[in-house]
Amino acid sequence: MRPLYAFALVIAILFLLVLARLARLDAGGPAHEFVNLPGQEPATLYLPGQGNPFFRVFPPAIRPPAIVMVHGFMADRQFMSTLARRIAQNGYAVLAIDVSGHGANRNPFPGGLANADAARPDVKKAVDFLRSYPFVDGSRIAVLGHSMGAGMVLDYATVDPALKGAIMISGGFGLTGPERPKNALFIFAQNDPSFIQSASTELASHLAGVSQIELGKTYGELAQGTAVKAIQVPHVNHLTIAYSPEAAATMVRWLDGAFGTARTGEINLREPRRRAALLAVLVFVVLLIPLGKIGGEIAGEWPEGPRGLGGWPGLAILVVALLAAMPLVAMNVPTGVFAFVVGDAQVVWFWSAGVILVIVLILAQVLQWRRLREGLAATVFAALLVMTIIYLCQVANQVTLHTLALTPERVIFAVVGTLLLLPFWLGFEFMLRRGDLVVSTIRATIGRALIIVMLVIGIFLQVLPGVLILILPNLVLIYVTVEILAVSAYSSSRNLMLIALLESMWFAWTIAAIAPITFML
């Protein structure tokens, strides 16, 4: 066996062993199972204790209080699973839902990011489910949400006076209903954007009846339902706060007070899945190296063609193309066509810039259809094979991050998105990745950094959706990971079409998996 294939086999076996460990850890921990709420709203119910207590009904005296947990924009209940487990293993039932248009929920997303009451029916269905469920104390329910979900649960808390508390993590839009939310905790990250921190403290100040709330101080009484508190969690950002042990401990203590729980032992913050999940990600990244090389060998060598345009000047052309495409997105003429909130703007931006790049390359005779057709069948086959393996690996490792399996609506978007993103990544590769492996890698890496810079500029110019700034660290990690695959494929074949196809499929799949959908088949 060739060393390359032997190395790939060893890494693949290691990856499968890590996944098996992760699956075992995921099956353990607090008892949990999938439930389908009315209206085909998927959710996961967590209960205190090990094993599976879902086959018996607890006596009313020992039924635990319950929390409805709502994720943020472009997230899902898997993203909240670490926090859900930490709360459940400290004596509380947790029902984590997928909001309409997110995750596995195929119902259309009902409104914009700041339209908190649009998801009120989703939250109400979860609360109603818990109030009649035999495993929990339906008279003691609180709501908890992150980011967009914080605004949704705060909105619901203003219309349901029977709730015992509300926890808003890095979010909250306003007080829209007639009721005063009971026992409101506003918790946000030290590295949250300033507008989120300001909104949290302003809402807390209003409920506490003071001009400026003091962080960490409790106003009112938990036992009477009048408590209000705002607290900042150090050393975390808008996303990592959901994984913070300190944040989880603060929430558990708040729930103890809201429900009148007398805790005798220490708060249990164990999350054994995290190390296995991190190891799985690292092994997956290593697996990309032989995977890209094998894909390049299957696709075959690719003739570079003329070098009359591109190289280092290609970086300037890339910036001009991305800037020139922004007005088209700003006019909102083509956006909304794909019925994916935020995702459509990204695809249109890249597609518009890609058309510009391709036209420039065709005029310079760098990109020629005759050359593109050479070995196209083998290239497409290699791209599909490599991407299928990547998809299966990532879907298997989604338990702590985000659901990456695609619903039928999302499959359609992934296919269409691949075709629309292809001009951009084809132009990107033909402009920047040519010649020496090291030099071309440096050039492509700078090109990806420039894309991030242009993305930030587009956000501040209000051309691109502002919510993208919250997931910027994730985008950087994706770009780094994709570049590892691209370098590996280039080293074995110089096949730029293969790399462009892989990039288009990967980004289209990522957008299709996380962007909220606004239509249903």
CATH number of the domain that residue 133 is part of: 3.40.50.1820
Residues 411 and 440 in one domain: yes
- Residue 54 is predicted with a pLDDT of 60
Residues 172 and 314 in one domain: no
Residues 432 and 293 in one domain: yes
The list of the chain residues with pLDDT below 50 reads: 306
CB distance 100 to 57 below 8 Å: no
Residues 312 and 186 in one domain: no
Locate all alpha helices (DSSP H) within 233-272, ordered by sequence: 245-259
Read off the pLDDT of residues 248-274 as tens digits, 9 standing for 90 and up.
999 999 999 999 999 888 999 999 999
CB distance 174 to 205 below 8 Å: no
Radius of gyration of the chain (CA): 25
- Residue 59 is predicted with a pLDDT of 63
Residues 231 and 340 in one domain: no
What is the residue range of 192's domain? 30-259
Domain count, the chain: 2
Return the structure tokens found at 158. Answer: 């203003």
Residues 346 and 248 in one domain: no
- Could you tell me the maximum CA-CA distance found in the chain, to the nearest angstrom? 79
pTM of the model: 0.91
Question: Does 94 fall in a domain?
Answer: yes
- Residue 313 is predicted with a pLDDT of 86
Output the CA torsion 157→162→167→171 (10° steps): 0
Could you tell me which of 205, 285, 255, 292 has the C-alpha nearest to residue 4? 292
CA distance 427 to 196: 38
CA distance 197 to 186: 9
Question: Does 132 fall in a domain?
Answer: yes
Question: H or E segment at 406?
Answer: none
**Three-state secondary structure call for residue 182:** coil
Measured from the Cβ of residue 297, the count of other Cβ atoms closer than 10 Å reads 17
CB distance 102 to 75 below 8 Å: yes
CA distance 404 to 392: 10
CA distance 280 to 16: 9
- DSSP for residue 219: B
The strand ranges marked E within 162-299 are 165-169, 184-189, 228-233
Question: H or E segment at 132?
Answer: none
- Residue 306 is predicted with a pLDDT of 47
Output the CA torsion 479→191→347→321 (10° steps): -70
Residues 281 and 240 in one domain: no
Question: Does 159 fall in a domain?
Answer: yes
Q: Which of 224, 259, 294 is the endpoint of a domain?
A: 259
Question: Does 129 fall in a domain?
Answer: yes
CA distance 31 to 116: 31
Residues 246 and 312 in one domain: no
**Three-state secondary structure call for residue 69:** strand
